[in-house]
Structure 1
Amino acid sequence: MQRIIVRRLVLSIPTLLIVSFLIFGILRLDPDAAVAARLGEGYTPEAAEQLKEELGLNNPIATEYLKWLGNLLRGDWGTSMYSREPVLEEVLPKVGVTLELALVAVIFAVLIGIPIGVISAMRQDSWLDYLLRSFSVLGLSVPGFVVATFVLTFLALQFQWIPPRDYKAPWEDPLHNIQQFGLAGLILSLSTAAAVMRYSRTMMLDVLRQDYIRTAWAKGLRERVVITRHALKNVLLPVVTVIGLTMATLVGGTVIFESLFTLDGVGRLLIRGVYERDYPLVQGVTLLFAIAVVVINLVVDVSYSLLDPRARG
């Protein structure tokens, strides 16, 4: 297992280097426009030149990238141009909020998607199957932020209720935390739950046609026993991969949902950085999201290897 983890980590290094270079380089494609946008009405040639020098835009991009990368490895992610605080000190306190939102969404996606997919496969081509498949298509078709906007508007107008704004950890105030993250996590999970449902249904249909399942039926075993003891464990293996692949969507989705539900997380910080033209902050948050996706893929690979010994080769 240690060999698998080390191998995946080594393979992740080129990916992170490429992503970090793209993140660093995109903001430098048009330095004059970037400086003008940052200065706004206070733009003067002297101020523009001073800001270029401060950001290192007059130097070769390769030199500045290596300098930036070296600072990253030493724990220096730059200084926010707006707050003048170190980027890492601004980002780290907000990671817990984003992580909790993504985790709640994953739990909802699993609890909703797998049971519905299994039930849909067990009742193939029945009215229940068509109904559940329609819900999955709806979940994949309608953007989550649209659903969230309608739900929040309805709750505010009809019940004069909006989710709490101040963050409370689960161990501090469980009810407050559930009110804050429950609805956001549920709506964020809908598209992922729909994808998990469709894949679970497909895999369950394939498993139910296997000879060992027919043998279990022939022995007179109950449907619950056949599904839970024989079929379900073989369905879950591929579904783990699907959940891992959709986690990248959840990580990106937190950016919008944190703004809609006024959650003070990393995604909301990114939007603030873009609005304020705070390029060091945008670089740091974007790189953090890229690292999160790489770590998620690593966890999925390791989990799959634990669940299926054949994948350890």
Structure 2
Amino acid sequence: MSAMLTPETPQHTAANEELDINDINELNESDIQGLDLEEERDTSASAVSQPTPKRERLDEDLESNLDSHDHFRPRVNVSSPFSSGVDMRRYAHRAEHVNQRALSMSQQSKFISYCDEKLMEIQRKFVQSRGLNEQHGYQGLGPLLEDLKTVLDFIWYSIEGLTNTESLLKTDVNLMSREQFAGTKSTSFGQVYYLIRVADDFLDYLATFDIRGMSSDEQHKTLSKAFKFIIILDVSFARLLEGLVPGNTRLNATETVRIAGIAERTRTAVPRYLEEQQVHGYHYEVSKIYEETLERCA
């Protein structure tokens, strides 16, 4: 290889002189031939074409963490009943709200007593299932969700007059308007306290149930109930935040903050629970957890 020629260093313009770009000399052919760029170009191309071991590891990790497109499709059929004994056709076309009357003072007292007693009964039964008296406790997450939903149904009935919250599963809150409840009287007397309590209790109970020993079919049925339960709560809170209930009554700031906190914790707790239980999929359902509620809490 011939010795590489070093181009002469051009003279710099003096401080008090003006640079004339039209008077700059171009590189002649010998200068260009003296610039040995081939070796550097080969070296650069080789460096680009051969990924480093670190980059290879990153690529492998990325590929291993990518789920197939199928995993992001809905797995829970919201058109199916929460409970096997429920006829969804009864609620499929109930778009109009029931003109619910506000409860009297004595009825409100009975409502509060029922909710307190029922939630205490669920808690007692849950504690028994933790080892104190397993045969009288919950045998799984499914039965507990059934009992919690019974309370949820009772609460929502006092608000809107619907006997079963199954109808909320396919409710598009964005298609509703406050005008639907124009002229109606408020039915609110603090029921949201119990809605918040049910949502909070559910989150505490969820993490304690092991579903790894279930068959895939039974596991799917249980998780479907859990996600439907969250959807019902999400729609309930979203409607209350918008005032899409009789009397157009909206939640106050304190209630909104509490609900937002539960919603955020649920969005992190459910994926963690699924990971601990070695359950794969349900990415779509996880992404929708309390979506409507948090959008209105922002």
Max radius of gyration: which structure? 2
TM-score using structure 2 length? 0.29
Tell me: higher relative CO, structure 1 or 2? Use CA pairs within 8 A at least 6 residues apart: 1
TM-score using structure 1 length? 0.28
